[in-house]
Structure formats: C-alpha cells, structure tokens
Amino acid sequence: MLDIQSIRKDFPILSHTVYDKPLIYFDNAATTQKPRQVVEKIENGYYNVNANIHRGVHFLSQAATEAHEEARKTIQRFLNARSSNEIIFTRGTTESINLIASSFTDAFMEEGDEVIISEMEHHSNIVPWQIQAARKGISLKVIPITEKGELCMDTYRSLFSERTKLVSVAHISNVLGTINPVKEVIEIAHQHDVPVLLDGAQAVPHTKVDVQALDADFYVFSGHKIYGPTGIGVLYGKEDWLDKLPPYQGGGEMIATVTFEKTTFNELPFKFEAGTPDYIGSTALAEAIHYVEQLGIEAIAAHEDELLRHASKRLEAIEDVRIFGQSVHKSSVLSFLIGDIHHYDMGMLLDRLGIAVRTGHHCAQPLMKAFGIEGTVRASFAFYNTKEEIDTFIAGIERVKTMF
Ligand code: PLP
C-alpha cells in the first residue's frame, strides 16, 4: 500500500490551485510531474558536479562522468539489460525511434522491404518509418485493432512476408491504455527471424519491464513520462544489433579517430551519442527511477489499477458515454466522449474546475480514423492521484453535461 498523502508532498505542483480550485492533474500520459528529489538532483548537478564528461582529466569532469555512467547502469538494471553498452541516451522516445528507423533502414533494408507497425501507434512510431519509406522505398504494413482496442493477432501473423525486416509496436497505447501482448508479438516475429522494437513510452511508468525476459531487440522510452526530466530518454538495443548498426549522427564523442580522409567510430554505447550528452538529465532520470523503485512498481501498478477501475465504473454510469479502449489488459488511461459534447469543450470546461485532461487526437490520428472520430477526452492517472480526485472529476463531467 502506498501512502499517497505523504507521496504527494514530494510533488509541490500538486498542491497548486488553478482558477482557485485545487489542481487535479490527469494528464500523466502526456508528461508526469516531478518529485523534489529529481529537481534537487538537477540543481545539485549544475551547482556541484557540472563539467563536460568523458574528455576531462580534472576532478569535476571525472565526477560528472562517473555520475552519468552510473545513471546508465541504473537504467541497465531497471530494464534488466545484459550490459550497460546496450543503453543509449537519447532525447526521448521520438529520437530513439528515429535513430533506429534511420540506422536500421540504412543497414538492413532495401526498396520493397517492409516494417510492421500497428493502427494504435503514436505518430512518433509512424512518421519516422514514412520518412524512410520516402527515402528508400520501404513500405509499412499495419496491424489493425479490434473494437475493444486490442491488436488483431491473427492478422498480425498473416502480415509477415520474406520482405518483413522489422516489427515496431507500442507496449502500451497512449490513447486506449491497452497493454499489448508484446511477448507473443516478439515470439511470432522471431519465428520469422524478424527483430522487434517496442515503444515503451507509456509502459515503463506503470509496469515492470524486463527486456531479456521479453527478448526485445529494441526498447525505447522517455524520461519525462517516468517522473524524470524532459529532453532525456533511452534506447535499449541488443548489443549484437547495435554493433551492426551505423551511427545516427556524427560529431564529438562518437568517434575513435578522425582524419580528413577517414573516421573510425567509437565503441558502444558512445557510437550513438554524438555531442555533449545530457549528463545532468541522465542522473536526474536515474534519480526518478530510484524513486519509482523505492515505491515499488508493483505497488504503483496496483494503486493505478484501482484508480482505473474506480474511474471506469463511475464513468460508465454516465449516460451517453463512449469509452475507447475496453481491453481487460489496460493501464490507467481513460479515453472517452460524452454524447455529442466536443472533446475541446469538455476539456476547457473541466480546466475551469481545476482538472487537467488532454483532448484531441493524442498524436494518433490513424487510430482516431479507425474509430471514426476526431478526438477524445483523455484522463490518465499516476500513483499520486486519488479516488477523491476521480470523484471530483466525475462530478465535473456531470456538471459540464448539464450545460449542454
Ligand atoms: N510513444 C508513445 C506511446 C507516447 O505516448 C509518446 C508520447 O506521448 C511518444 C511515443 C513520444 O514521446 P516523446 O514525445 O517523449 O518523444
């Protein structure tokens, strides 16, 4: 059991008021709030441990380097990767996927080769592949979803051909909350000798991820969605794969030797980390992960499941509600529409009551198209949210409903 009231004290922003109402923050799938410990780590980093890393012989540079490399080990342990060489720091999920899309396509794909994605992907797992499609003539195959918002696994099985080179799907949908059967997705792909990239942006804050148990080839996530800072994220890749991929960007840090005639590249993980890395961000991300681990990911999941069950039950009782994403395997995301109230109107009016939800297409326009809608209202819960907040949110929806 989590002591939510004492946890909330670690998040100063949660005691703010908005329009004289206590803030209820239900936009956690977009970004999470940061505990004091993470912000203090950033402050301490800049005040006390700041020097550019890896190249310095001096004390501060070595301390900063050690902190950055220790952070990499924290991520390695968190994902249960075999080696810290398999952990690449990026700016976030989007950059991690772009890195793989670019490097994997360059190394392993020819015109006519195929990548399998799904209908529920975030734009950041669609557009990078389309850029490669335009550049190199590869094509996308799309796993459709069921009415409940689950992957059609039979269709998935039938999408493989000898031209399939990679599968890239979300671990958890940012719109539907569906927890995809990613172990099975990977097993099927591996039967065809096809590697799999999992977009874990929505998964790492809510569920234990073990990349070895999953046998994932690539796994990506963003720091800011797991209570860490913005601008830092992770690409996990099996060492065998990363060794074979060409660098994504060129510059300092990623080289072994440079002459005007020829450059040789650094070893992993530095080959993929051109330029000065966000060494303050990496240590703050590690701090966020320690925070999550201290609470316990199982306890977090249990509390968030309870919030989801409570909110779903209360929302379902509202007349004319449509909930998108009805999988039994679901994380704490609720996308819905009420009658013909426009999602923006609902979002704006809830905001006046101090309740922050997201409205719109949630960077998943193809998914909206599949449901024949333009957008939804999305409430997404984190461990610091409470049932009382959900009750206030439901009362808010009822109130908005009476206005229409
Ligand atoms: N993938 C999913 C499933 C997401 O929910 C998001 C963000 O909402 C992203 C990718 C993109 O993450 P970022 O903007 O941090 O790169």
* 355 beta partners: 24
For residue 224, report the distance from its CA to the centre of ligand 1, in Å: 10
Set 30, 42, 140, 363: catalytic member:
363
Specify the ligand 1 atom closest to the Cα of 91: 16
For residue 176, report the distance from its CA to the centre of ligand 1, in Å: 14
| Torsion angle in degrees (nearest 10) through CA of 228, 272, 268, 283 | -20
Task: Round to whole Å and give the CA distance between 174 and 139.
Answer: 24
Closest of 103, 41, 51, 63 to residue 268, by C-alpha: 103
| Nearest Cα residue to atom 14 of ligand 1 | 94
For residue 200, report the distance from its CA to the centre of ligand 1, in Å: 9
- Residue 255 shares a structural domain with residue 210: yes
- Residue 100 shares a structural domain with residue 114: yes
- Residue 304 shares a structural domain with residue 376: yes
- Residue 276 shares a structural domain with residue 303: no
pLDDT for 103 equals 98
Task: Round to whole Å and give the CA distance between 15 and 18.
Answer: 10
Lining residues, ligand 1, CB within 6 Å = 92-94, 122, 124, 170, 174, 199, 201-202, 222
Cis previous bond, 181, omega within 30: no
| Torsion angle in degrees (nearest 10) through CA of 255, 259, 264, 266 | -20
pLDDT for 55 equals 78
CATH number, domain of 25, equals 3.90.1150.10
- Phi (first) and psi of residue 280, to 5 degrees: -80, -40
Average pLDDT over residues 5-16: 98
Give the count of domains, the chain: 2
> In whole angstroms, how large is the CA radius of gyration of the chain?
22
pLDDT, tens digit, 9 for 90 and up, residues 348-374? 999 999 999 999 999 999 999 999 999
Specify the ligand 1 atom closest to the Cα of 92: 16
Specify the ligand 1 atom closest to the Cα of 362: 8
For residue 94, report the distance from its CA to the centre of ligand 1, in Å: 6
DSSP codes of every residue in 339-369: TT--HHHHHHHHHHTTEE-EEE-TT-HHHHH
The residue from 238, 258, 293 where one domain ends is: 293
Q: Is 218 left (phi over 0), alpha (psi -120 to 50) or beta?
A: beta
The pLDDT mean for the chain works out to 97
342 has pLDDT over 90: yes
Overall pTM > 0.85? yes
DSSP element (H, E) containing 324: strand 321-324
| Nearest Cα residue to atom 5 of ligand 1 | 174
- Phi (first) and psi of residue 22, to 5 degrees: -60, 135
- Residue 286 shares a structural domain with residue 304: no
| Nearest Cα residue to atom 4 of ligand 1 | 201
- Phi (first) and psi of residue 279, to 5 degrees: -75, -20
Average pLDDT over residues 99-121: 98
Q: In the chain, what percentage of residues exceed pLDDT 70?
A: 100
- Residue 289 shares a structural domain with residue 326: no
Which residues, 6+ apart, have CB-to-CB distance to 210 below 8 Å?
79, 80
| Nearest Cα residue to atom 12 of ligand 1 | 93
- Residue 142 shares a structural domain with residue 262: yes
- Residue 313 shares a structural domain with residue 368: yes
Among 174, 197, 378, name the best residue to mutate to test ligand 1's pocket (greatest count of ligand atoms within 8 A of Cβ).
174
Instruction: Provide the domain limits for residue 399.
Output: 4-30+296-403
Among 180, 204, 222, name the best residue to mutate to test ligand 1's pocket (greatest count of ligand atoms within 8 A of Cβ).
222
- Residue 265 shares a structural domain with residue 373: no
The residue from 250, 267, 293 where one domain ends is: 293
- Residue 13 shares a structural domain with residue 136: no
Average pLDDT over residues 129-142: 97
* Residue 351 CA from chain centroid, whole number: 25
SS3 label, residue 389 = helix
CB 269 within 8 A of CB 179: no
Specify the ligand 1 atom closest to the Cα of 174: 5
pLDDT, tens digit, 9 for 90 and up, residues 194-242? 999 999 999 999 999 999 999 999 999 999 999 999 999 999 999 999 9
CATH number, domain of 136, equals 3.40.640.10
For residue 272, report the distance from its CA to the centre of ligand 1, in Å: 20
The residue from 242, 267, 293 where one domain ends is: 293
Specify the ligand 1 atom closest to the Cα of 224: 15
Q: What is the DSSP letter of 329?
A: S
Helices (H), 137-191: 153-158, 182-191
DSSP codes of every residue in 3-16: -HHHHHTT-GGGG-
In the block, tokens 């060494």 appear at 279
What confidence tier does 124 reach under pLDDT thresholds 50, 70, 90? very high
pLDDT, tens digit, 9 for 90 and up, residues 138-174? 999 999 999 999 999 999 999 999 999 999 999 999 9
- Residue 9 shares a structural domain with residue 79: no
| Nearest Cα residue to atom 6 of ligand 1 | 201
Q: Exposure of 16 by Cβ count < 10 A (0-12 exposed, 13-18 middle, 19+ buried)?
A: exposed
For residue 93, report the distance from its CA to the centre of ligand 1, in Å: 6
pLDDT, tens digit, 9 for 90 and up, residues 48-65? 999 999 878 999 999 999
CB 187 within 8 A of CB 180: no
Task: Round to whole Å and give the CA distance between 95 and 224.
Answer: 14
- Residue 341 shares a structural domain with residue 383: yes
**363 carries an active-site annotation:** yes
pLDDT, tens digit, 9 for 90 and up, residues 373-388? 999 999 999 999 999 9
For residue 342, report the distance from its CA to the centre of ligand 1, in Å: 24
What confidence tier does 1 reach under pLDDT thresholds 50, 70, 90? confident
CB 188 within 8 A of CB 218: no
pLDDT for 115 equals 98
Task: Round to whole Å and give the CA distance between 40 and 288.
Answer: 11
pLDDT for 56 equals 83
